[in-house]
Amino acid sequence: MSQPPRRPRTLNDARTEAEAAFKKTTTKVPEAPPKQVALPGVKELVSLRIDQDVLEHFREGGPGWQERINDALRKAAGK
């Protein structure tokens, strides 16, 4: 069998190919954001839901209850 006749290239074909080639070379591949390293002694404000009885337990000790919760969480995390 013979091959079908090739259609002539048009300006639009060339432009489309050129734009595709340009896009490939100019498109940046997104990089993963760098992993943040925890700085010692730096606190981060978060919203946390804790059972009321647990919160009352830590607040009974007076001022410093947030640090005590932080220490308990650090111990639970194995740090």
In this predicted model, what pLDDT tens digit does every residue of 15-70 receive, in sequence order? Answer: 888 888 888 777 677 788 887 777 777 888 889 999 999 999 999 999 999 999 99
Sign of the Cα pseudo-torsion (44, 67, 57, 73, in order): positive
* Confidence label for 9 from pLDDT (cuts 50, 70 and 90): low
The neighbour count for residue 34, using CB atoms within 10 Å, is 6
- The rounded distance, in Å, linking the Cα atoms of 17 and 45 is 52
- The rounded distance, in Å, linking the Cα atoms of 29 and 48 is 36
Query: Residue type for 79, please?
Result: K
Torsional class of 25: left (φ above 0), alpha (ψ -120 to 50), beta (otherwise) = alpha
pLDDT for the residue numbered 67: 92
